[in-house]
Amino acid sequence: MKNFDLTKSTLTRRKVLKTLGAGVAAASILPRLGGIAHAATSEPIRIGFQAHRTGIGAAYGRWYSRATSAAVTRINDMGGINGREVEIITEDDGTDPKRGAEVIEKFAKQHEVDVAFGTLYSHVVYGSAPRAGELKLPYFVVSEGHHVASGKLNRYTLQPGITDVKSQVQAMAPFVADNLGKKVTMIFPDFAFGHDHRDFFTAAIEAQGGEVVESIAIPPTETSFTKYFPRIPRETEVIYHVMVGPAVLTFVKELGEFFGPNRPELFGFIDSLEAVDFASPGLEFLEGSYFWEGMARYAQADQTDIDKTYRAAVGVDNNGASISDSRDVATFSHMFGCWETLNIIKRGMETCGYQGPADRQSLIEAVEAMSDMPYSLDHPQGAKRFNGKTHQTFGHQYISQVIDGKLVVKHKTSIEDGLYEDEVDYTKQSF
Amino acid sequence: MTDSKRSIILHLSFIAVLALVFFILPDYHTGNLARIMVLAIFAMGYNFLFGYTGLLSLGHALFFATGMYGLGMTMQFFDLSSGSAFIAGLICALLVSAIIGALALRTVGVAFMIITLMFSQAGYLIILYFGEYSRGDEGFIIAREARAFMGFDLSDETNRYYAALILFSICFLVIAKLVNSPFGRTLIAIRENEERAKMLGYDVAKYKLIAVIISGVVSGAAGASYALLFGYVGATFATVQYSIFPLLWVLLGGAGTTIGPFIGVLFMFYLIDLSSVVTPAYMLIAGVVLVLLTLFAPQGLAGELRKRVFKWLP
Amino acid sequence: MDFGPHLLLASLEGAVAAAILALTAIGLSIVFGVMRVVNVAHGEFYMIGAVIAWWVASIVGTHPALGFVAALVVAPLIVGMLAATADKFILQKIDYDPDRTIVATIGLLYIIQQITLMTFGPEARPVQPPFNTRLALPWFEFGENGFEMYWPWGLSITSYKLFVIFAAIAIMLALWMLMTRTKIGLIMRATQQDSDMAKAFGIPVNRVYSWVFGLGAGLAAAGAVLVVPMQQAHYLMGHDPLLLSFIVVIIGGLGSLPGTVIAAILIGMSDGIISVFFSPTLAKIIATLVVAMVLVFRPNGLMGRSN
């Protein structure tokens, strides 16, 4: 009995000490706590994350998830949005447009999220956007497709965190024409995305006095490519390649085997090798070739503190791979879009004093009113200029060369290089 | 009460229940039900060929996509109204299924399965090849303003639900009537013993071709409805995956039952939807459930119902 | 590229494609031929083979040839046992009912894909070939100076691709010997022709089925190990081989091993050669339709007998 009492009293004393300690700790971070404490009275902000967890986009989905949770942790550490904590609700869309639309429905009606965000593959964006519009759910995509700026979507769909393909391609063309060559052969998947590259780049290179001498659209079910390479005209100075899917390594390898020691210049979109280790067998062939990068995968010599902090937060090392597994390579040129988009959602919600779903329209208007976004930890990829009318953002692009198996940035385009005439004015559409 | 009377009452009350649950269920589930009814039309079309005629096709995605693009392209490029575009979709599905049926029916059994698969693969690639018009894998959106029928805005929750229900009911009742008609009984006779049906003097080839066409047109109707009600047309719906789905739905629900396809779609939809709440690895749960079902419900869900409870189920 | 060298290159590529097709389809040909069940998970056995090849290669390290040989032994064994287990606990329990087998193997496909996704991950991972030298090929032409030999731009093949063609031939021959010259082959053929009769003669049909199912999956895995140095291990890679295998087996004629080989050559070569004349996607469409037409005119496949 006595023993028992003793234990009890000790426990009580320990408890008291603990509580005291917590109080002191809390007091030391009072400003932050103030925000959260105020928030404790209200619900968290709920953001629906439409993720490619399974299906062909799963490698992107995994890294989009990591970038998203890192960004949310940072936002919550800074006091959340309007003092309210941010909560991410993830649903798998299976990289399928039908399931994508169903997930949007689930976000709006069952999870009752405030906004939805996150999609990469453009067919999922196309499948989901009409439903988001009907449900009046703000839908922030991180897809780099030209769908938003083309005017085919609706007032509720925005792409503020990543530049679209038309702008990327247009910004690249002068470098290709000036440094690599004027006669270009393009190789791309026979997907709408590949056709966009063909159409936009053909126009852009012609504006630079160059020409596309051949376009080779590869059927997406293909697993071997050599038989198509004889179509590359002999006069070709540059091969422009942008392939997607698990067969990209075969593509690069076979291209190397086809040309042997003397190849034309190569310019590729990093999409061909996102989530792929440059040390993979067969990729030696790419040494000296050039790539578009959305954001430099390898930490550069002049690495900024912002880049350092961003990598550490997402868990990426200086080679663009996971800190815990050097073979788990990030989708570095795309996933920053999740991070930046979440910061833009935060800023938009704070500007309009977002309270709940009733304020969704003012949130859209607040984002539409945005324009220049300076380079900061909120925008680690670089400064951006958002066009509220077309719901599309424009940023810097990077051209890197493979040197000793690593990508070294050779050229950074200006935002102006990627601007083009508006194709739509969403702000004139009704909500 | 005779079995056929029971069957009529069952079918009508099933439709009545679907009409009523709209007022009871939460929003999320009525939205899902609208989708499930449209996909169930697809499954019913498939079931007509597989469950009643005994022909296993792996090419039905093409019929679904034909209806979908038949409607979508005519609305996009010829500005047809939704009603006429829907009929255009049906006509396209009719033509395509007649051609494919005529060629594919020269084969039987697994060869029929493979030849339909190959035609469907070719169809998918044709959609990609004409990407300039079809926008390939990305597809295109049917503008909300165009998605109206006789003044009803089909993107509105209520209108969409009842539009889906009406289309579903028409297909459901027509197929139920058809399989009980002399024509349907002949198809079942062909399924059970083709040689015998031939000896009894039936023109088996003609019956099979008509079955393929009916199945193709119903599947095309599902595709056209999906495009019209949900506003999206895309090549994903022409991939093999969307040929395997109706087979899976029908086998799960119960092949050769009128109600089975709906049950199969409903079951599969909520299997994925609910298990994804439990774990991100929901495919694992779905896989295990499928394996268990084959072990313990060999005739599909409706088939088990028929065996255990309602012996007269059509 | 000139027409001649282009055609030669496309034919060589067609031959490699034919070898790959034969390797992936041969396992299905046996399972399908003997057991008559549609195994939707067959492509997943192929995928596991490739994943194991990557896994073994990354453990063994050192020279790529060592990992390759180890994988060639380990992968078929593991996959074969896995398949035999699945046969015993699932397919046998449902008595190989055709419809239920489809659902069960779709379930199996989901399970295998998800487990691979959770362990191996979503990336495509390469496996280094044991050897891979680029072999430039010459071309002959009558020019101004008479008969000339020259080395056209891009006309080449790799030693590993040649090896795959020979490996495919070797495996086919070995399998043919097994089926026609051994007691195991006799039992398998007896079961294929009439399983009831085989049972009456004391053949343990159920055990034969398990072995056949395991053998078929093992062959798929072996094919994957051979193919993966040219392609990559990826958790969704089983999809296309599955469809192609079905096509090859049916075009060849169900249950005919020589038919499977001929169909693989026909499909692989036509795919290569047609690509010379049309743009890539159009060539694929035409090749698919041409092969489908084989069934229209020979509904039982090239070597199939009518029932």
pLDDT in tens, B130-163: 988 889 889 999 988 888 888 888 888 899 999 9
Cβ-based burial of B183 (10 A; exposed 0-12, middle 13-18, buried ≥19): middle
Q: What is the pLDDT of residues B156-201, one digit of tens each?
A: 889 999 999 999 999 999 998 898 888 888 888 888 888 888 888 8
Mean pLDDT of the region A136-140:
94
Give chain C positions within 8 Å (CB) of B113.
38, 246, 250
Residue A230: which of C6, C17, C127 has the nearest Cβ?
Answer: C6
In the structure, how many helices (H) and strands (E) does chain A have? 11, 15
Mutation pick from B106, B115, B124, B194 vs chain C, by most beta carbons of C within 10 Å, is B115
Average pLDDT, chain A: 86
Q: Is A144's pLDDT higher than 70?
A: yes
Q: Is C1's pLDDT higher than 80?
A: no
Q: What is the pLDDT of residues C15-27, one digit of tens each?
A: 888 888 888 888 8
Asked if B287 lies within 8 A of C108 by C-beta distance, the reply is: yes
The ipTM is: 0.88
Q: What is the pLDDT of residues C252-290, one digit of tens each?
A: 888 788 888 999 999 888 888 888 888 888 888 998 898
pLDDT of B314 reads 62
pLDDT of C96 reads 84
Chains contacting A (3 or more CB pairs within 8 Å): B, C
Q: Is A16's pLDDT higher than 60?
A: no
Chains contacting B (3 or more CB pairs within 8 Å): A, C
pLDDT of A32 reads 39
Q: Is A176's pLDDT higher than 60?
A: yes
Rounded to 10 deg, the angle between the A305-314 and A58-77 helix axes is: 110
- Parent domain of A17: 2-39
Q: Is A26's pLDDT higher than 70?
A: no
Domain regions of chain C by residue span: 3-297
User: Is residue A6 a part of any domain in this protein?
Assistant: yes
**How many CB pairs (< 8 A) connect B and C?**
120
Give chain C positions within 8 Å (CB) of A233.
none
Q: Is C36's pLDDT higher than 60?
A: yes
What is the rounded distance in angstroms from the CA atom of residue C256 to the CA atom of residue C262?
10
3-state secondary structure at position A393: strand
Please name the residue of chain B whose CA is at the shortest distance from the CA of residue C281: B129
Residue C100: which of B110, B128, B294 has the nearest Cβ?
Answer: B294
Residue B283: which of C110, C246, C281 has the nearest Cβ?
Answer: C110
pLDDT of C206 reads 83
Q: What is the pLDDT of residues A249-270, one digit of tens each?
A: 888 888 888 887 788 889 999 9
Mean pLDDT of the region A103-126:
92
Whether the CB-CB separation of A183 and A211 falls below 8 Å is answered with yes
The number of residues in chain C equals 307
Q: Which long-range contacts (CB under 8 A, 24 or more apart) does A345-349 make?
A: A345/A47, A345/A81, A345/A115, A345/A117, A345/A140, A346/A75, A346/A81, A346/A86, A347/A378, A349/A45, A349/A81, A349/A82, A349/A114
Give chain B positions within 8 Å (CB) of A145.
138
Mean pLDDT of the region A147-168:
93
Per cent of chain A over pLDDT 90 is 63
pLDDT of A162 reads 94
Q: Does C85 touch chain B (CB under 8 A)?
A: no
Query: Is the Cα dihedral C198, C203, C207, C210 positive or negative?
Result: negative
Query: Is the Cα dihedral C44, C46, C52, C58 positive or negative?
Result: negative
Q: Which helix (H) or strand (E) is A269 found in, with range?
A: strand A265-269
Q: Cα angle vertex B170, ends B168, B176, to 5°? A: 100
Q: What domains, with CATH codes, occur in chain B?
A: 3-308 (1.10.3470)
pLDDT of A65 reads 94
Q: Is B51's pLDDT higher than 90?
A: no
Q: Does A8 touch chain C (CB under 8 A)?
A: no
Mutation pick from C227, C281, C288 vs chain A, by most beta carbons of A within 10 Å, is C281
- Distances, alpha carbon B311 to alpha carbons B3, B6, B7, C117, in Å: 9, 11, 11, 43
Asked if C247 lies within 8 A of B251 by C-beta distance, the reply is: no
Provide CATH code, domain C3-297: 1.10.3470
Q: Which helix (H) or strand (E) is C148 found in, with range?
A: strand C146-150
Global confidence as pTM: 0.88
Mean pLDDT of the region B198-215:
90
Domain count along chain A: 2
Q: Is A40's pLDDT higher than 70?
A: no
Mean pLDDT of the region C48-75:
87
pLDDT of C306 reads 57
Please name the residue of chain B whose CA is at the shortest distance from the CA of residue A132: B230
Q: Is A30's pLDDT higher than 50?
A: no
pLDDT of B230 reads 92
Whether the CB-CB separation of C76 and C49 falls below 8 Å is answered with yes
Q: Is B227's pLDDT higher than 90?
A: yes
Query: Can you list the alpha helix ranges (DSSP code H) found in chain B?
Result: 3-24, 27-47, 60-78, 82-104, 109-129, 131-134, 157-179, 182-192, 194-199, 204-230, 241-253, 260-278, 282-296, 300-308
Q: Is A11's pLDDT higher than 50?
A: no
Q: Is C143's pLDDT higher than 80?
A: no
- According to DSSP, the β-strands at A398-403 and B152-153 are unpaired
**How many CB pairs (< 8 A) connect A and C?**
101
Q: Which helix (H) or strand (E) is C55 found in, with range?
A: helix C42-60
pLDDT of B94 reads 96
Asked if A126 lies within 8 A of B32 by C-beta distance, the reply is: no
Strands in A265-269's sheet, in edge-to-edge order, are: A211-218, A183-189, A238-241, A265-269, A290-293, A398-403, A406-412
Q: What is the pLDDT of residues A340-381, one digit of tens each?
A: 999 999 999 999 989 989 899 999 999 999 999 999 999 999
Give chain C positions within 8 Å (CB) of A227.
9-10, 13-14, 272, 275-276
Cβ-based burial of C163 (10 A; exposed 0-12, middle 13-18, buried ≥19): middle
What is the rounded distance in angstroms from the CA atom of residue B124 to the CA atom of residue B136?
9
Q: Does C20 touch chain B (CB under 8 A)?
A: no
Q: Does B272 touch chain C (CB under 8 A)?
A: no
Mutation pick from B103, B110, B267 vs chain C, by most beta carbons of C within 10 Å, is B110
The CATH number covering residue A210 comes to 3.40.50.2300
Q: What is the pLDDT of residues A49-72, one digit of tens each?
A: 999 998 888 889 999 999 999 999
pLDDT-derived band at B312 (thresholds 50, 70, 90) equals low
Closest-CA residue to A298 (of A397, A402, A374, A375): A402
Please name the residue of chain B whose CA is at the shortest distance from the CA of residue C36: B110
Q: Is B37's pLDDT higher than 60?
A: yes
Q: Does A75 touch chain C (CB under 8 A)?
A: no
Mean pLDDT of the region A198-214:
92
Residue C231: which of A59, A216, A250 has the nearest Cβ?
Answer: A250
Asked if A62 lies within 8 A of C231 by C-beta distance, the reply is: no
Whether the CB-CB separation of A144 and A340 falls below 8 Å is answered with no
Distance from the first to the final alpha carbon of chain B: 15
Q: Is B300's pLDDT higher than 60?
A: yes
Q: Is B60's pLDDT higher than 90?
A: yes
Q: How far is CA C288 from the centre of its chain?
A: 18
Q: Does B136 touch chain A (CB under 8 A)?
A: yes
Asked if A195 lies within 8 A of B32 by C-beta distance, the reply is: no
Whole-angstrom Cα Rg for chain C: 21
Residue predicted with more confidence, C208 or C79: C79
Q: Does A97 touch chain B (CB under 8 A)?
A: yes
Residue predicted with more confidence, B75 or B308: B75
Token pair of A289 as six digits: 């070739």
Which positions 116-175 of B are in contact with C (Cβ < 8 Å)? Answer: 117-119, 121-122, 125-126, 128-129
pLDDT-derived band at A390 (thresholds 50, 70, 90) equals very high
Residue B135: which of A96, A97, A192 has the nearest Cβ?
Answer: A192
Per cent of chain B over pLDDT 90 is 45
Average pLDDT, chain B: 89
Q: Is C144's pLDDT higher than 80?
A: no
Whether the CB-CB separation of B70 and B88 falls below 8 Å is answered with yes
**How many CB pairs (< 8 A) connect A and B?**
93
Residue A230: which of C1, C126, C127 has the nearest Cβ?
Answer: C1
Q: Is C147's pLDDT higher than 80?
A: no
Residue C281: which of A190, A227, A275 has the nearest Cβ?
Answer: A190
Asked if A131 lies within 8 A of B236 by C-beta distance, the reply is: no
Q: Is C79's pLDDT higher than 60?
A: yes
Asked if A133 lies within 8 A of B28 by C-beta distance, the reply is: no
pLDDT of A19 reads 47
- Distances, alpha carbon B123 to alpha carbons A429, B38, B65, B236, in Å: 37, 22, 9, 12
Residue B298: which of C100, C118, C251 has the nearest Cβ?
Answer: C100
Whether the CB-CB separation of A164 and A392 falls below 8 Å is answered with yes
